[in-house]
């Protein structure tokens, strides 16, 4: 876990799935992270402008280049998108609340999500990523996934407590990506 301000409930969701966690600070290099020989890397949520997180963006770029199973939530989504060559922008009105709907544009399945972010991402498709979840209110990105590598991220909080719980399956998807 690269800790950018990780929420305890994210950690609880991994522990509940019997995942052994090693938590490292935001300023660890790719080499320092990989020295632990992780099965996968989770980039956490946190506050602020993702473009200012230069070190973690470089770590994400190397995780992508080396096909390391990677998951991100909120700021982690933005970091992965920037590591893939995308860009971030400040939303005119941040997405805040526990009942925000996102849709999978391919399957048309909707999920009710908890959101609390003021930045969003775009233009991350050049490195093999595609948008797999979209905000129905403003069509902004709510999730990206690599087409051939075990890497994905979401902008919202699937772990939010007291809910909604529609997207808790994403933790299981990451475990599948790690082949555990």
Which positions are catalytic? 74, 157, 159
Q: Which DSSP symbol is given to 177?
A: H
Cα 42 off chain centre by: 8
3-state secondary structure of 66: coil
Residues whose CB is less than 8 angstroms from the CB of residue 172 and which lie 6 or more positions away in sequence, other chains included: 17
User: Exposure pattern of 10-19 as b/e (b: 16+ CB <10 Å)?
Assistant: bbebbeeeeb
Strand partners, 103: 110, 134
Strand partners, 41: 70
Radius of gyration, alpha carbons of the chain = 15
């Amino acid at each position: 876990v690269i800790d950018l301000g990780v929420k305890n409930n994210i950690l609880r969701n991994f522990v509940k799935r019997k995942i052994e966690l090693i938590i490292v600070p935001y300023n660890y290099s790719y080499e320092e992270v990989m020295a632990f020989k992780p099965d996968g890397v989770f980039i956490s949520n946190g506050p602020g402008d993702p473009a200012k997180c230069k070190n973690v963006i470089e770590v994400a770029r190397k995780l992508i280049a080396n096909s390391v199973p990677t998951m991100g939530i909120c700021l982690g989504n933005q970091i992965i998108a920037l590591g893939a060559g995308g860009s971030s922008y400040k939303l005119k009105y941040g997405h805040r609340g526990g009942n925000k709907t996102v849709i999978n544009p391919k399957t048309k399945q909707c999920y009710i999500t908890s959101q609390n972010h003021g930045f969003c991402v775009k233009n991350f498709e050049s490195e093999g990523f595609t948008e797999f979840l979209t905000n129905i209110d403003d069509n902004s990105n709510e999730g990206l996934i690599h087409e051939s590598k075990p890497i994905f991220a979401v902008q919202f909080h699937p772990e939010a407590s007291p809910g909604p719980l529609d997207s808790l399956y994403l933790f299981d998807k990451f475990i599948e990506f790690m082949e555990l």
